[in-house]
Amino acid sequence: MIERVFAELPENFAAGAIDKPLTIYFSVEEIKKTVHLTAERCQVENGKTTDQADCVCKISGEMLLRIWEEGYRPGVGDFLSGQIRSNNPAILQKFLTTCRRSG
């Protein structure tokens, strides 16, 4: 199911939603993905394919599915409790917008 979320990213991507390229590294339990976003496209790669991601996100599969399938919007408490760990939550919000998942 987690693989399906990442497979759907390019088809849900809203071209023009960002103005500068972003790279996000996701660690979802044993699944590791690097997502490259530009104004024109979204590309998902297996594993950690960059040493300089703009954002790193460690999240449980359960939480990722809750966000992707149920429309849950994480709040400050999710970050403070450690359910989602990230060095840049603002980029994660932008990511949800570019993938048409913002509330």
Predicted pLDDT at 102: 56
**103 within some domain:** no
Number of structural domains (the chain) is: 1
Token couple for 92: 């994660």
On whether the CB atoms of residues 26 and 33 are closer than 8 A, the answer is yes
- Tens digit of each residue's pLDDT (9 = 90 or more) over 25-44: 999 999 999 999 999 999 99
Task: Assign residue 53 the CATH number of its domain.
Answer: 3.30.1050.10
The pLDDT score that the predictor gives to residue 86 is: 96
Decide: 78 and 84 in contact? Cβ < 8 Å: yes
- Print the domain residue range for 31: 2-98
Confidence grade of residue 101 (pLDDT, cut at 50, 70, 90): low
